[in-house]
Amino acid sequence: MAQSLSTAPFKPDVNPSTLRRVMDSVLSLQFKATFLVVVLTLSVTAAVSGYLLQSSGQLAREQHDEQMVRVASLLSKAAGAIMTGGNASELEALAVESANGLPLLYVIFSDAYGEQLAVAEHHSVHVLQRLQRNESERVPVPGTPVFHAPSEEAPVFLDVTYPISVRADGDDGSDNRTSKLIGYVRTGMVANNWQRTMAGKLDLVVGVGILAMVVAIPLGFLLVRKIVAPLDGLADAMLRFSQGKLEVRSQVTRRDEIGRLASTFNLMADQHQHTHERIVRLNSELEERVAYRTHQLRELASREPLTGLYNRRHFNEMLERRFSEAVRYSTDLTCLMIDLDEFKAANDAFGHQVGDELLVLTAGTIVGQLRTADLAARYGGDEFIILLPQTDAENSRILAERMAERFSRDVAERFPNVRVSMSVGIASLQLLEPKDAESLIRYADRALYDAKKKGKSCIVCAMPAPTPVAT
Higher local confidence (pLDDT), 98 or 333: 333
Taking the CA atoms of 426, 429, 430 and 432 in sequence, report the sign of the dihedral they define: positive
In a domain, 236, yes or no: no
The confidence band for 223, taking pLDDT boundaries of 50, 70 and 90, is confident
Nearest to 234 by CA among 207, 270, 260, 271: 260
pTM score of the predicted model:
0.45
Q: Which domain holds residue 427?
A: 303-461
Q: Which residues contact 374 (CB under 8 A, 6 or more apart)?
A: 386, 387, 388, 389
pLDDT at 242 over 60: yes
Q: What is the pLDDT of residue 2?
A: 46
103: preceding bond cis by omega (within 30 degrees)? yes
In a domain, 240, yes or no: no
Q: What is the pLDDT of residue 297?
A: 75
Beta bridge partners of 425: 337, 460
In a domain, 229, yes or no: no
Within this chain, do residues 59 and 190 fall inside the same structural domain, yes or no?
yes
Within this chain, do residues 288 and 336 fall inside the same structural domain, yes or no?
no
- pLDDT one-digit tens code per residue, 280-307: 889 888 888 888 887 777 777 788 889 9
Neighbours of 149 (CB within 10 A): 8
How far is Cα 381 from Cα 355, in angstroms, rounded to an integer? Answer: 10
Nearest to 339 by CA among 386, 305, 371, 306: 386
Within this chain, do residues 319 and 278 fall inside the same structural domain, yes or no?
no
Q: What is the pLDDT of residue 37?
A: 63
In a domain, 323, yes or no: yes
- pLDDT one-digit tens code per residue, 343-384: 999 999 999 999 999 999 999 999 999 999 999 999 988 999
In a domain, 100, yes or no: yes
pLDDT at 469 over 60: no
Q: What is the pLDDT of residue 420?
A: 92
Q: What is the pLDDT of residue 428?
A: 95
Within this chain, do residues 263 and 310 fall inside the same structural domain, yes or no?
no
- The CATH number for 164's domain is 3.30.450
In a domain, 392, yes or no: yes
In a domain, 203, yes or no: no
Give the end-to-end CA distance of the chain in Å, rounded to a whole number: 163
How far is Cα 446 from Cα 332, in angstroms, rounded to an integer? Answer: 19
Q: What is the pLDDT of residue 104?
A: 80
Report the side by side order of strands in the sheet with 104-111: 116-121, 104-111, 177-190, 157-169, 146-148
The CA radius of gyration of the chain, in Å to the nearest whole number, is: 61
Within this chain, do residues 157 and 258 fall inside the same structural domain, yes or no?
no
- pLDDT one-digit tens code per residue, 67-94: 778 888 888 888 888 888 778 788 888 8
The confidence band for 236, taking pLDDT boundaries of 50, 70 and 90, is confident
Neighbours of 117 (CB within 10 A): 19
- The CATH number for 422's domain is 3.30.70.270
Q: Which residues contact 241 (CB under 8 A, 6 or more apart)?
A: 248, 269
Within this chain, do residues 289 and 320 fall inside the same structural domain, yes or no?
no
In a domain, 23, yes or no: no
Q: What is the mean pLDDT of residues 394-414?
A: 93
- Reduce the secondary structure of the chain to three states and give it as a string: CCCCCCCCCCCCCCCHHHHHHHHHHHCCHHHHHHHHHHHHHHHHHHHHHHHHHHHHHHHHHHHHHHHHHHHHHHHHHHHHHHHHHCCHHHHHHHHHHHCCCCCEEEEEEEECCCCEEEEEECCCCCHHHHHHHCHHHCCCCCCCCEEECCCCCCCCEEEEEEEEEEEEECCCCCCCEEEEEEEEEEEEEECCHHHHHHHHHHHHHHHHHHHHHHHHHHHHHHHHHHHHHHHHHHHHHHHHHHCCCCCCCCCCCCCCHHHHHHHHHHHHHHHHHHHHHHHHHHHHHHHHHHHHHHHHHHHHHHECCCCCCECHHHHHHHHHHHHHHHHHHCCCEEEEEEEEECHHHHHHHHCHHHHHHHHHHHHHHHHHHCCCCCEEEEEECCEEEEEEECCCHHHHHHHHHHHHHHHHHHHHHHCCCCCCEEEEEEEEHHHHCCCCHHHHHHHHHHHHHHHHHHCCCCEEECCCCCCCCCC
Q: What is the mean pLDDT of residues 438-448?
A: 94
Report the side by side order of strands in the sheet with 333-341: 375-380, 383-389, 333-341, 421-428, 459-461
Cβ–Cβ under 8 Å, residues 159 and 146: yes
pLDDT at 8 over 60: no
Q: How many residues does the chain have?
A: 471
Cβ–Cβ under 8 Å, residues 168 and 83: no
Within this chain, do residues 296 and 314 fall inside the same structural domain, yes or no?
no
How far is Cα 60 from Cα 56, in angstroms, rounded to an integer? Answer: 6
Within this chain, do residues 318 and 295 fall inside the same structural domain, yes or no?
no
Within this chain, do residues 295 and 417 fall inside the same structural domain, yes or no?
no
What domain count does the chain have? 3
Within this chain, do residues 332 and 449 fall inside the same structural domain, yes or no?
yes
Mean pLDDT of the chain: 80
Q: What is the pLDDT of residue 197?
A: 59
- pLDDT one-digit tens code per residue, 143-198: 778 777 777 766 777 788 888 888 776 555 555 667 788 888 888 877 765 556 56
Q: What is the pLDDT of residue 332?
A: 95
Within this chain, do residues 281 and 362 fall inside the same structural domain, yes or no?
no
Q: What is the pLDDT of residue 34?
A: 63
Within this chain, do residues 292 and 390 fall inside the same structural domain, yes or no?
no
Q: What is the pLDDT of residue 4?
A: 47
- At residue 370, what is the residue type? L
